Structure formats: structure tokens, C-alpha cells
Amino acid sequence: DVQLVETGGGLTQPGGSLRLSCAASGFSVSRNYMSWVRQAPGKGLEWVSIFYTGGDIYYADFVKGRFTISRDNSKNMAHLEMYSLRAEDTAVYYCARGEVAGRVDDWGQGTRVTVSS
Amino acid sequence: EIVLTQSPATLSLSPGERATLSCRASQSVTSFLVWYQQKPGQAPRLLIYDASNRATGIPARFSGSGSGTDFTLTISSLEPEDFAVYYCQHRSNWPFTFGQGTRLEIK
């Protein structure tokens, strides 16, 4: 069975950093499209970043230059490094797997990030 | 960036009724349109991909249709567990964007 488990969320001050991790099982991260999607409290879904199977990477404009997505094929994990965090980055961050680009076939349970002073 | 507009924002229906949810794109996404269901406190779940294909394990009462800029998610006869928020999302090109959601509530 496919399983995605996110860790690394928490409370940080504006300007701070966090590293989210996603432990994957039941599939290979290198052969799937790995993404991070977020949801601010009471709001809708926003696609943050995607790591293509071939290595291409895309970021939403609202995180470009501040967030970095990566994958560790040997550990079957994905990560999201977040820098220069802002209050508006406060959200639940979901790790997501897609068999094709732009589709989420499986979601993690989410990890909550709160940016506040 | 392609903007997806869902309507209505809230739909109030009773179990057994038919639900019709709409998603309109600001430009053509051909058939690259996906629907998800999200219940409170849970991650979303894939329902329909590429406009009309049901994901694995999704009941036949869920169907999707449309192409280009206008899409519809239909639930033929509502079950109690279907009351949730539904999002459309396109995968035509980056950035992939979501609609703002339709809340399906019990009347």
C-alpha cells in the first residue's frame, strides 16, 4: 500500500526556516511525480512545488526563491526546505504522489506549519 | 496562470438527490481536469482525472464530463458520506491550480 508520512512542521517566527520531510513507502519516489501542496486555515488548496520523474522542478511564484524541493532516492523520501518564511506561509503542507504530472493520486496526512511572532 | 472558477460556492441538497458541480477555466485545459473530495480534517482524495475517468475505488455514482473550459462533476444519488468540499484542478501546464471549492452540505 502507498503511504506518505510528513514530518518537520511546527511554529517558527517570520524570516525563519523549516525543513519538511516525506517518508514514502509502497512505491519509488524516483518513478513518481512528487509534490507539496498546502492549505491555509479555512482556505483552499495551493500547489507549492513539483519534482518530475525526469528531474525537472517547478515552484509556485509565491515561494520561488524561498523554498527548495528535493528527493532522496536512496531513502525514498522527499523534502521541502523553506526559508524566509512569512505569516502567509502558515498552512497544512501535504506531501503528494502522482503517477502523471499534475495529478495527485495519493496524499500524506499533512504537517502543520505556523509562522508567527 | 489558469484560473478555475467553481460554482456554486455552496450546494445544499438531501441524500438521494442529484448533485451537479461546475468548474470553469479561464482558458482551455483540453481534458486535463481533475476533481478531488475533501472531508473535514482529512487530506483530499482523488475522484476523477482527465475530466471523466474515475479513480480507483471511486463509486459509479460519481461522474465527470466536459472539455476545454467547462467541466461538471455529477453525483447521481447522494449518500451521507458524500457531503464534503469538492475541488477541481487543472494539469494543463504549470502552475497547476485549484478552484476555490464547492461545499456540498446536507439540506
Closest-CA residue of B relative to A61 is B95
B9: confidence class by pLDDT, cuts 50, 70, 90: very high
The C-alpha of B23 sits at a distance from chain A's nearest C-alpha, in angstroms, of: 15
- pLDDT at position B7, please? 96
Among B43, B87, B94, beta carbon nearest to A110:
B43
B101: confidence class by pLDDT, cuts 50, 70, 90: very high
Contact by Cβ (8 Å): A107, A4: yes
Give the β-pairing of B4-7 and B53-54: unpaired
- Chain B environment of A50 (Cβ under 8 Å): 94, 96
Closest-CA residue of A relative to B50 is A103
- pLDDT at position B20, please? 98
B45: confidence class by pLDDT, cuts 50, 70, 90: very high
Asked if B55's CB is within 8 angstroms of A44's CB, the reply is no
Segment B61-90 shows an average pLDDT of 98
The C-alpha of B102 sits at a distance from chain A's nearest C-alpha, in angstroms, of: 10
Q: Say what percent of chain B tops pLDDT 70.
A: 100
Among A46, A94, A102, beta carbon nearest to B43:
A94
All three cell numbers of B84? 464534503
Scored b (16 or more CB within 10 A) or e, B36-45 reads bbbeeeebbb
- Chain A environment of B92 (Cβ under 8 Å): 102
Chain-centre distance for alpha carbon B13:
16
- Chain A environment of B97 (Cβ under 8 Å): 47
- For A78, other C-beta atoms within 10 Å of its C-beta total 27
List, as one string, the DSSP characters of B60-97: TTEEEEEETTEEEEEESS--GGG-SEEEEEE-SSSSP-
Nearest C-alpha neighbor of A95 from the set A41, A51, A30, A31: A51
